[in-house]
């Protein structure tokens, strides 16, 4: 990397392999930049390679037999100890998240850190539910199943919410008796390395490993490695398809949580101040729109289209965009120059598309303090048709497109007219309209009359090209991190009575 302004104190953050902090086998390092200060280096991490993957897999495989053999209460105790330390260090994790990702401290980074604590505690609590069944097979047969861990799990993590996504995967895999290799995102690796440090204070060596390096190197090596039993990936659909192809070629277990272009359907009877606040939350603008669950296609009934658009635009326009570490900031910085440029391209296309109008925003900041970082302003386009590119592709930025509708069947058809199917939002005070719509929308996670609502224990995952598999829940843990073994035993000398 060239022409980079370096801060005075740039810390090296090693990887974690076999309970030890390690550099890459090559000795090479990569810089990590601050999204809020263009070209400002905040840390260096190892540029891992295939040899490092071999080391991590060997460590995880060596640790697996003893970890899987532990009584579930031992694994639960370790997860609770991790949760206690994570809770005690919440502000440290939150501040590092804001620095590393550009997510605002108050609205995103701190909630992400507290969610991580909740997830470790939840999976500690359900560790004893990894159990099989006994079948009524007659007096001379004992037939039962065991749910056994898969082995070594590679968790390939994204940059938008690295701690939260790690919390979806890591404690579930550990509670089920697996060992783990975390692959941190290129652009936001620091909180994952700090998480690995905490985990290794409470777990045997090799149970949790953490790697850094390019996805095209580390991610590909993990997907191809015969010693990796499962690949759990969260990221874009395009990259996920490549990872799935490699892991699938060797019939490895896999789960994929991918992109979304999520509908938010508003019925006329839903209009009140709670709706506006809920739509703001569903937009994920306080995460710069960098969320797979962002309700980025806003379907407004034509009777309330102008009213809701006016009120929502005023609410979104009042968001304070700025330094992620400032408590007053509502919306932080976009992750990097590439993503910033991609969002700008969509904005340019939106302004140039006949019929579309930017009723809020529509261009990147051109002057002032916000030009020091990768900032975008909240943008709302009206006059959008569902077939427009901005209504079909995942922008992953603070861009909302508003589409009018008048018939329920029509809006459900439009909502489902997409390759994605991760999340959806339905707003109505009529129970029939709300639930009938929720049942007919093709999405794995549907919220009714709320923009959030995600809690530990619920199933989370997508339909169609939004992925496969479920996370966050007991059901997701059993489906995603265990396999069933059937055991049939013939009993001899059974008395007749």
Strand order in the sheet with 40-46: 5-12, 40-46, 29-33
Task: Judge whether 104 and 286 are in contact, CB under 8 Å.
Answer: yes
Reply yes or no on whether 479 is catalytic.
Answer: no
Nearest CA among 428, 405, 497, 422 for reference residue 467: 422
Task: Judge whether 100 and 166 are in contact, CB under 8 Å.
Answer: no
Tallying the residues shown for the chain, one arrives at 497
In DSSP notation, 236-277 reads -HHHHHHHHHHHHHTT-EEEEE-----EEEE-GGG-SHHHHH
Question: Which residues does 259 contact at the CB level (< 8 Å), separation at least 6?
Answer: 236, 237, 292, 394, 396, 420, 422, 465, 466
User: What secondary structure letter does DSSP report for 85?
Assistant: H
- Residue 233: strand pairing partners: 156, 256
Reply yes or no on whether 28 is catalytic.
Answer: no
Q: Which two tokens stand for residue 436?
A: 């009938």
| C-alpha span between 107 and 293 (Å, rounded) | 16
Taking each helix axis from N to C end, the angle separating 431-440 and 408-416, rounded to the nearest 10 degrees, works out to 30
Task: Judge whether 360 and 401 are in contact, CB under 8 Å.
Answer: no
Task: Judge whether 434 and 451 are in contact, CB under 8 Å.
Answer: no
3-state secondary structure (DSSP) of residue 328: coil
> How do 134-135 and 141-149 pair as beta strands?
antiparallel
Q: Which of 112, 257, 394, 471 is catalytic?
A: 257
| C-alpha span between 35 and 30 (Å, rounded) | 16
> How do 482-490 and 141-149 pair as beta strands?
antiparallel
Question: What are the backbone dihedrals phi and psi of residue 376, each rounded to the nearest 5 degrees, phi first?
Answer: -130, 155
Please give the span between the terminal C-alpha atoms of the chain, in angstroms, as a whole number. 81
Q: Which of 33, 112, 199, 292 is catalytic?
A: 292
| C-alpha span between 77 and 72 (Å, rounded) | 9
Residues classed as catalytic = 257, 292
């Amino acid at each position: 990397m060239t022409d980079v302004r370096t801060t005075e104190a740039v810390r090296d953050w090693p990887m974690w392999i076999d309970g030890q902090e390690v550099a890459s086998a090559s000795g090479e390092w990569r810089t990590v930049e601050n999204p809020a200060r263009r070209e400002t280096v905040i840390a260096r991490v190892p540029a891992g390679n295939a040899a490092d993957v071999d080391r991590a897999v060997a460590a995880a495989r060596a640790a697996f037999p003893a970890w899987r053999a532990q009584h579930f209460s031992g694994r639960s105790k370790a997860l609770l100890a991790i949760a206690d330390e994570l809770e005690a260090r919440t502000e440290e994790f939150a501040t590092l998240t804001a620095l590393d990702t550009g997510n605002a401290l108050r609205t995103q980074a701190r909630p992400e850190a507290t969610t991580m604590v909740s997830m470790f505690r939840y999976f500690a609590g359900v560790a004893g539910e990894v159990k099989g069944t006994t079948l009524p097979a007659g007096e001379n047969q004992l037939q039962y199943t065991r749910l056994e861990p898969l082995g070594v799990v590679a968790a390939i993590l994204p940059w938008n919410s690295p701690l939260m996504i790690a919390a979806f995967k890591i404690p579930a895999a550990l509670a089920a008796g697996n060992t783990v290799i975390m692959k941190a995102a290129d652009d936001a690796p620091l909180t994952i390395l700090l998480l690995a440090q905490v985990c290794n204070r409470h777990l045997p060596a090799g149970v949790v490993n953490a790697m850094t390096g390019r996805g095209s190197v580390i991610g590909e090596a993990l997907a191809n490695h015969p010693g990796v039993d499962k690949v759990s990936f969260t990221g874009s659909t395009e990259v996920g398809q490549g990872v799935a192809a490699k892991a699938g070629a060797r019939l490895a277990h896999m789960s994929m949580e991918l992109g979304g272009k999520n509908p938010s359907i508003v019925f006329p009877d839903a209009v009140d101040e709670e709706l506006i606040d809920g739509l703001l939350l569903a937009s994920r603008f306080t995460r710069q729109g960098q969320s797979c669950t962002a309700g980025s296609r806003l379907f407004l009934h034509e009777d309330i289209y102008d009213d809701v658009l006016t009120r929502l635009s005023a609410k979104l326009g009042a968001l304070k965009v700025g330094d992620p570490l400032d408590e007053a900031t509502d919306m932080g910085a976009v992750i990097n120059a590439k993503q910033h440029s991609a969002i700008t391209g969509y904005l340019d296309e939106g302004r140039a598309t006949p019929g579309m109008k930017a009723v809020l925003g529509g261009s990147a900041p051109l002057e002032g303090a916000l030009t020091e970082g990768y900032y975008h302003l909240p943008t709302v386009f009206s006059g959008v048709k569902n077939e427009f590119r901005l209504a079909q592709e995942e922008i992953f930025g603070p861009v909302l497109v508003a589409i009018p509708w008048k018939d329920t069947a029509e809006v459900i058809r439009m909502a489902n007219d997409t390759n994605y199917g991760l999340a959806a939002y339905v707003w109505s005070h009529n129970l029939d309209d709300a639930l009938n719509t929720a049942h007919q929308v093709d999405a794995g996670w549907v919220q009714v009359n709320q923009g959030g609502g995600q809690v530990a224990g619920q199933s989370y995952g997508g339909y169609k090209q939004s992925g496969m598999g479920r996370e966050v829940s007991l059901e997701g843990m059993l489906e995603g991190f265990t396999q069933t073994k059937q055991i049939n035993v013939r009993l001899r000398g059974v008395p007749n009575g």
